[in-house]
C-alpha cells in the first residue's frame, strides 16, 4: 500500500515508517523538522531508516524480498495546499498521523503552536482523507486526555472532559473531530492514546533522556512530585507493533452502540479509540533505579513539587486493544532501559 506517515522524522513516526517499509509498503513521510528539539536528531532518524533499508537489501539480495520505497518531504501539515498536492499526486491508501506539537509543559509557554499543528493541521489531514477516499486514518491521541481523572487504570470508557493542559485539550479535540468525520463522511478513524513511550531515538525533552543524560554527566536530575509519580512506560517496539496492528484493521461501526448508554470509544460511525501502553505502571524512583543500574552510576536527585499540567499517575487499561488485535507488550522495563542506554551511549559518543 501507499501509506502517508506524518511526523516521520519524529520518535514514533520514524520507527513506524521503518517497519512499514520493511514490510514492503511505500511510505510517504512528511515532517516540518521544527526546532522544538534538536533538528540533527530528527535528520539522523531519517538517515537511520535509509541505512536499515540498505542493510536489508544487502543481507537478502539472493531472496529478493522487496522493501517499500521512502519518499520524504519537509512539510507542515498546517499548510493545506502542499498537503493536498501529496494526496492528489499519489494514491494514498492509509494515513498514520503522528505529526503534532508535543509536550505538556511547553503548551504553557507557546499555546499557539498547539493550535496550529494539533488543530489546524489535523483538520487538514481529515479534509485530505475525506476527499481522497482514504481507507483508514490512524492518529495519535495521548494519555494526557485523562486529565483530572483519578480512576485507575485509565479506561477508554472513562470520562475525559477535564484536561489539565492545552496539549491534552487539543488531543481530546482531535478525537471529537475524527468522530465527526467518521459520522459525516464514513471515514474510518482510529485514535491511539499513547502512554509514556521510551526507547532508542527517543525525544530529548522527555524524562528518560533527561535522566540518562544528566546521570551520565554527573549532573543532578529534577524529580517532580517528589518522586511519587507512576508512569506506564512503554517501549517503542511495543508501540510500533500496536500501531501497525491497528492500521491493518480499519475501524468499523459498532452495531451494539446505544445512544441511551453511549460507549465513548466506539460509535455507529466507523470510529475507534484505544489505549496503547504497557499496562504495568512503574514508580518513578524505580525507573530511575533501572537507569542507575544500566549506567553504573548513582543519580543526584533534586526533589521538586508537581509541575502545572502534570498528572500523578498514568496506567493504561489495554483490554480493548487486546481484544481487537491481540496486542501484548513484550519489553520489561529493565531490558528496555538497557537498550535505551546502549543507544544513548552509541549515538552521543
Mean of pLDDT over the chain: 94
> Structural domains in the chain?
2-194+235-277+317-329 (3.40.50.720)
Report the catalytic residues. Answer: 167
Percent of the chain with pLDDT over 90: 86
Predicted confidence band of residue 60 (pLDDT cuts 50, 70, 90)? low
Query: CA of 75: how far to CAs of 16, 97, 169, 198, in Å?
Result: 18, 13, 24, 25
- Which tens digit of pLDDT belongs to each residue from 94-109? 999 999 998 888 888 8
- Cβ burial 300-324 (10 Å sphere, 16+ → b, else e): ebeeeeeeebebebbbbbbbbbeeb
**pLDDT score recorded for residue 27:** 97
Written as one string, the DSSP assignment of 181-199 is HHHHH---EEEEEE--EES
The pLDDT assigned to 67 comes to: 81
Residue with the three cell numbers 524480498: 65
Pairwise pLDDT comparison (60 vs 195), residue with the higher score: 195
Q: What is the mean pLDDT of residues 340-345?
A: 97
Q: What single-letter DSSP state applies at residue 119?
A: I
Average pLDDT over residues 237-257: 97
Rounded Cα gap, residues 276 and 279, in angstroms:
8
Which pLDDT value is given to residue 295? 96
pLDDT for the residue numbered 55: 87
Give the per-residue pLDDT at 108: 85
- Per residue in 248-281, pLDDT (tens digit) is 999 999 999 999 999 999 999 999 999 999 999 9
Q: What is the mean pLDDT of residues 341-348?
A: 96
The predicted model gives 200-207 an average pLDDT of 94
Rounded to 5°, the CA angle 291-296-299 comes to 60
* pLDDT of 123 higher than 90: yes
Residue 149 clears pLDDT 90, i.e. is over it: no
Q: Are 243 and 192 in contact (CB under 8 A)?
A: yes
What's the rounded Cα separation, in Å, for the pair 330 and 149?
Answer: 27
Cβ contact 272:265 at 8 Å: yes
Band (pLDDT 50/70/90 cuts) for residue 62 is low
For cell 519524529, name the residue: 10
Q: Which has the closest alpha carbon to 276: 341, 348, 191?
A: 191
Kindly state the greatest CA–CA separation across the chain: 60
pLDDT digits (tens, 9 = 90+) for 13-49: 999 999 999 999 999 999 999 999 999 999 999 999 9
What pLDDT score does 65 carry?
62
196 pLDDT higher than 60: yes
Q: Tell me: pLDDT of 61 over 80.
A: no
Percent over 70 (pLDDT), the chain: 98
DSSP label at 213? Answer: H
SS3 call for 312? coil
Three-class DSSP category at 220: strand
Q: What are the pLDDT digits (tens) for 280-323?
A: 999 999 999 999 999 999 999 999 998 887 777 888 999 999 99
Are the CB atoms for 315 and 230 separated by under 8 Å? yes
Amino acid at each position: 500500500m501507499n501509506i502517508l506517515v506524518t511526523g516521520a522524522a519524529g520518535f514514533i513516526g520514524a520507527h513506524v515508517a521503518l517497519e512499514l517499509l520493511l514490510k514492503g509498503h511505500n511510505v510517504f513521510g512528511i515532517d516540518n523538522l521544527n526546532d522544538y528539539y534538536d533538528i540533527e536528531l530528527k535528520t539522523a532518524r531519517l538517515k537511520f531508516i535509509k541505512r536499515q533499508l540498505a542493510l536489508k537489501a544487502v543481507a537478502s539480495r539472493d531472496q529478493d524480498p522487496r522493501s517499500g520505497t521512502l519518499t520524504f518531504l519537509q512539510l507542515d501539515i498546517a499548510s493545506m495546499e502542499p498537503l493536498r498536492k501529496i494526496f492528489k499526486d499519489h494514491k494514498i491508501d492509509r494515513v498514520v498521523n503522528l505529526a503534532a506539537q508535543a509536550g505538556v509543559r511547553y503548551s504553557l509557554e507557546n499555546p499557539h503552536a498547539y493550535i496550529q499543528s494539533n488543530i489546524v493541521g489535523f483538520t487538514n489531514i481529515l479534509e485530505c482523507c475525506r476527499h481522497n477516499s482514504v481507507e483508514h486514518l490512524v492518529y495519535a491521541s495521548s494519555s494526557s486526555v485523562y486529565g483530572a481523572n483519578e480512576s485507575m487504570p485509565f479506561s477508554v470508557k472513562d470520562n475525559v472532559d477535564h484536561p489539565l493542559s492545552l496539549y491534552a485539550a487539543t488531543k481530546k479535540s482531535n478525537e471529537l473531530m475524527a468522530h465527526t468525520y467518521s459520522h459525516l463522511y464514513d471515514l474510518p478513524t482510529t485514535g491511539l492514546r499513547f502512554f509514556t513511550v521510551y526507547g532508542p531515538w527517543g525525544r530529548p525533552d522527555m524524562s528518560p533522556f533527561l535522566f540518562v543524560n544528566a546521570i551520565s554527566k554527573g549532573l543532578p536530575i529534577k524529580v517532580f512530585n517528589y518522586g511519587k509519580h507512576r508512569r506506564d512506560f512503554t517501549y517503542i517496539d511495543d508501540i510500533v507493533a500496536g500501531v501497525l496492528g491497528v492500521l491493518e484493521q480499519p475501524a468499523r461501526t459498532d452495531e451494539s452502540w446505544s445512544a441511551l448508554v453511549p460507549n465513548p470509544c466506539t460509535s455507529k460511525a466507523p470510529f475507534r479509540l484505544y489505549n496503547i501502553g504497557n499496562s504495568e505502571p512503574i514508580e518513578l524512583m524505580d525507573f530511575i533505579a533501572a537507569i542507575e543500574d544500566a549506567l553504573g552510576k548513582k543519580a543526584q536527585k533534586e526533589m521538586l513539587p508537581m509541575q502545572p499540567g502534570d498528572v500523578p499517575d498514568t496506567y493504561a487499561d489495554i483490554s480493548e486493544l487486546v481484544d481487537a488485535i491481540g496486542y501484548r507488550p513484550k519489553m520489561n522495563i529493565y531490558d528496555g532501559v538497557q537498550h535505551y542506554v546502549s543507544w544513548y551511549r552509541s549515538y552521543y559518543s
